[in-house]
Structure 1
């Protein structure tokens, strides 16, 4: 009898361990930028709950910590970046990351509070331009400025171009690099500023101030990022199912008025 009780006790303890393990496995922690990423992910939180996933959303205000948190496994996934940035960051910081899928594109724009079109720059003697200082968005910005006719690059296909890669530019153009988050609040101080859409939205800069817009063929779709090997886990598959749903597509189209475009 005592043997039977011991066996039953052990079986019950094992079931409790499995239950606790399942509780942990059902939790998914994702790091996001505030706009539009947090808004999009918050939209599907209840849907994931119905699928047995307890989603915890952690908001970051920079482009460094979300990947470092992924590396130390305090996050299961993050949602704020595109593939070129992910790959560049991964190489420099020894993080083996992959995309679990695309969600949306935020077309990069050149904004101005002082001119209504690029052609008006011809009348100005000096043009101050702010661009992001991280390698990927800096290169993306320089390609956009080239497309707008402001400069020529040595290699237009080099995604991580820096100022040293400019082949020719009129001396009246003065380009300054800043952290992406700092550019929006300083728009009124310069003639032109290249601003990521999420930062423009956060700074309440409307698209009527955009004087040049990146084309839809952009390779910079925002992705859900995970450590390699986790892209096919059940939790991530369920996350992507809801992020790439008709519900999210309709939300993006109605909420952002073309500032954000679905990419699935």
Structure 2
């Protein structure tokens, strides 16, 4: 995705005046975010950048292993807690929950746009793999409960059968939302070479998904699963953290700057 909006920070901040940006973490995002210094780790650079611009930004408090429907209610409550319109930015599972929140009655009226980063709208084969191995699933469930991240049942909501059924059932509503609101969906393709140690962690899963016929992917989510029909779309290089954490050759702030620029220009 090129920087086609050609909008500097001052102009973007001006366009975002009176608007809140709500960040919705993906699975275990609150844990990953707590492992790095403020402004450095998971979505930290994006949060610090928006704060520095004077934009009203908030991380929605989510137990990220909880079911999608439960967290959709929390996002809806965060939107209703302030009369200012919101732009929802969801990473991975957080994008599913943001979308489900926006489909609730009256919620789209309070939203100015929706940005989904590497979100498995049609499911993740890795979730299918974990769910098929009961000992692994039970371990995830217990760790999630002990860490107060939810019950672990949210992992089931990431599987391809559950997600594809949900998308079929809500296809008309999703299509109508993409017409009503600026929606931007960004996917990443890990590819065969390059990257750093962070990419290497995801590479075995990326190769496995390719062998399973899932197509290009970021090590957790196939590209085809992350692109919502009717939305503005782009595919960028990198692993599943490429759009939310700094690393060689990637800049999560620039990604969010471009996506927000597309939203505010479309909304205008």
Larger Rg: 1
TM-score by length of 2: 0.35
Per the normalisation by structure 1, the TM-score is: 0.35
